[in-house]
Amino acid sequence: SAMAAVRTVEIDPEGTFKYILVRLQRRGGGEQRDIVRGTGAAEFHNHIFEKVNPEMEKLGYECKCLGGGKIEHNSKDKKIRVFGLSTGYGKADHSVTVEILKKEYTDYEITWSDDKK
């Protein structure tokens, strides 16, 4: 399916940056899945959504932002920490984000918390 062609995770390889959890759904319901997008290039969480949304609409998906937070990605130590929240979208369910990240970064230690920093 076209949905399988959409990468589940696209995050910066290093650093601490904002991320959002996005639910994709086929127009008219049916198939859906959650994806994680994060980048240091985004000053605000909605900048990430504004990039993802048109890309997914072209593929025939509706996007809904389920919330956001921050990701601290340390590729040298193979560690990812998910924390914080988005002022605009609210806090993503970091436990869901971690499960998604674990499928992509199988040899990483991945943790989350409700800490702001």
Handedness of CA 105, 49, 70, 66 (dihedral sign): negative
Task: Give yes or no: 45 in active site.
Answer: yes
Residue 18 annotated as lining a ligand binding site: yes
C-alpha–C-alpha distance, residues 86 and 68, integer Å: 5
Residue of 45, 47, 73, 94 with catalytic role: 45
Q: Which residues are annotated as a binding site?
A: 18
Q: Catalytic site residues?
A: 45
Q: Which residues are annotated as a binding site for substrate?
A: 18
